């Protein structure tokens, strides 16, 4: 199985898709060969400055914690634990998180062992080799191993509260479907989807895969930001949280961290969308659901 990189520099870096392609061999994707970390860091672009958020060791220690905690468990169980802690550790702005090269470097230069452990499929019955999908290393934000967790935490957190993130990331169908939605950036929509999971209104993959496109399609005619308005986002809270990275302790392992002190999503907006989404779900075509 892929090992922890033997060479880890002090700072995070950027790695382009073209650069990453030289290291994504079949052997690496199959977990049979380690990433040549020294060669990789020769072509990676180190991030400039002395920002504490760019310290590589903080992220690597967090990933080591996830591997230690969930090694004997199903790999999918790590998502709900790692997502809020990765978000709190990196403390990125959305513009910074849109830099694809950062996530590619995290996957190949910092933690390829985690990506292989988390995403390598179960062995086939015929004994043929299985491999991690390339997009877990270099894919879009809703596929890439670490980008998907950061964006899930960013979109599902309720101000400083990461508990909704744990609920969303604890369901692989919701995690995989919601990040593709155009409307998920609307905070009341994200919280309403979490509320339906908590209530048990939707549980199975088929139910979630019926609900989420219905929610997205309905947004074309019903403008959620008008019928369920959110509060204005507080940029100062985010800036203060980012500035506090230099003095922040490592993300707690046994309790949830706290995000930026932004105002919570209005409860009235969430309740209104929950009722609307329940109606949408009642009419949604769920494969295998008996019709009356």
To the nearest 10 degrees (0 to 180), the angle between helices 187-199 and 205-218 is 150
pTM: 0.95
Q: Is residue 87 part of a domain?
A: yes
Q: How many domains does the chain have?
A: 1
Tell me which residues of the chain have a pLDDT lower than 70: 288-292
Q: Is residue 227 part of a domain?
A: no
Q: What is the pLDDT of residue 49?
A: 84
210 phi and psi, to 5 degrees? Answer: -90, -40
What does the alpha-carbon distance between residue 14 and residue 35 come to, in Å, rounded to a whole number?
16
Q: Is residue 219 part of a domain?
A: no
What does the alpha-carbon distance between residue 272 and residue 277 come to, in Å, rounded to a whole number?
9
Which residue segment(s) compose the domain that 29 sits in?
Answer: 1-156
Q: What is the pLDDT of residue 292?
A: 44
Q: Is residue 282 part of a domain?
A: no
Q: Is residue 92 part of a domain?
A: yes
Q: Is residue 65 part of a domain?
A: yes
Q: Is residue 18 part of a domain?
A: yes
């Amino acid at each position: 199985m892929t090992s922890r990189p033997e060479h880890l520099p002090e700072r995070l870096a950027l790695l382009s898709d073209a650069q990453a392609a030289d290291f994504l061999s079949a052997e690496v994707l199959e977990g049979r060969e380690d990433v040549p970390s020294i060669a990789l860091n020769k072509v990676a672009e180190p991030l400039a400055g002395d920002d504490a958020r760019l310290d590589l060791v903080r992220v690597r220690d967090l990933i080591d914690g996830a591997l230690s905690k969930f090694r004997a468990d199903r790999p999918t169980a790590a998502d709900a634990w790692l997502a809020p802690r990765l978000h709190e550790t990196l403390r990125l702005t959305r513009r910074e998180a849109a830099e694809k090269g950062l996530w590619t470097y995290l996957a190949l230069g910092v933690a390829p062992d985690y990506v292989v452990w988390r995403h390598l499929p179960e062995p086939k019955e015929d004994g043929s080799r299985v491999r991690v999908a390339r997009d877990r290393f270099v894919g879009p934000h809703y596929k890439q191993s670490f980008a998907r967790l950061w964006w899930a935490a960013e979109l599902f957190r309720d101000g400083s509260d990461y508990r909704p993130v744990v609920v969303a990331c604890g369901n692989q169908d919701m995690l995989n479907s919601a990040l593709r939605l155009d409307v998920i950036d609307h905070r009341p929509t994200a919280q309403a989807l979490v509320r339906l999971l908590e209530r048990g209104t939707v549980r199975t993959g088929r139910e979630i895969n019926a609900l989420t496109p219905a929610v997205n399609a309905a947004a074309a005619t019903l403008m959620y930001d008008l019928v369920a308005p959110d509060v204005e986002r507080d940029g100062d809270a985010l800036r203060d949280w980012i500035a506090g990275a230099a003095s922040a302790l490592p993300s707690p392992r046994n309790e949830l961290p706290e995000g930026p002190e932004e105002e919570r999503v209005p409860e009235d907006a969430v309740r209104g969308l929950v009722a609307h989404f329940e109606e949408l779900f009642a009419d949604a075509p769920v494969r295998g659901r008996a019709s009356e």
